[in-house]
Amino acid sequence: MGESLTIPVPGGGAMPAWLERPARAPAGVVVLLHEIFGLNRNMQALARWIAALGHVALVPDLWWRQAEGVALDPDAGPPAWERAFALLRGLDEAAAVADLLAALAFARTLPGGNGRVGSVGFCLGGRLAARLAVRSDADCHVSYYGVGIEGMLEELRGLRAPLLLHIAGRDRFVPPAAQRRIIAALQDAPLAEILVHPAAGHAFARAGARSFDARAAAVAHARTEALLVRCLGL
């Protein structure tokens, strides 16, 4: 059973988060970074999946500075998308990265954790996971269909930990030209691993949604879990 908690952040604020624990401890902690639709049922389901694999799952609410408790359904129609994109336009990404650095530090000290921590992000969260691979001391990072990564390739030359990038071959938000730039820039980087899912579209790992692609998600999750076990322990 998951639980709500808050994470202290710089400046004295408190960022809400969702926590799922595995059956056994100690375990590594995976900080899950949500899509623009917030800490919704899909993210809670992903947290349960991470916990079932034997890791602690911590899901910070990235929208808390604008509106707490955002949990949108991407299949609910235009109002949900309009709300999500309005939040994205209002995002202070530097503040979000600072919040996530605080979340990673908090994760290292969680009771039941083993001191190791990684990030796994989706869409917007995938972009932030890539930033954390440069700016944090976390042990590993995974980006699922991260948007805007082609614009931060120079920064990604400074990778500090393993970064696994899942690219959806039919991603309408990351067009083929952008995919080629990412692959060309990172395919020989020692700490980067790129897995292209040729037939999958954006948000292929969003279980229960219209965008879900069970085969691509299974392949991606297997590779993700192999990295998490290697870097965070069993």
Give 11's pLDDT tier (boundaries 50, 70, 90).
Answer: confident
* Catalytic hit among 171, 197, 213, 221: 171
Q: 61, 123, 141, 166: which one is catalytic?
A: 123
pLDDT in tens, 12-21: 899 999 999 9
Q: What's the pLDDT score for residue 15?
A: 97
Told to judge if 202 belongs to the known catalytic residues of this protein, a careful annotator would answer yes
* pLDDT of 1 higher than 80: no
65-112 tens-digit pLDDT: 999 899 999 999 999 999 999 999 999 999 999 999 999 999 999 999
**Could you tell me the residue ranges of all domains in the chain?**
3-232
Residue of 34, 141, 197, 202 with catalytic role: 202
pLDDT digits (tens, 9 = 90+) for 203-213: 999 988 999 99
CATH architecture of 3-232: 3-Layer(aba) Sandwich (3.40)
- The whole-number pLDDT of residue 197 equals 98
β-bridge partners, 121: 33, 143
| pLDDT, tens digit, 9 for 90 and up, residues 117-142 | 999 999 999 999 999 999 999 999 99
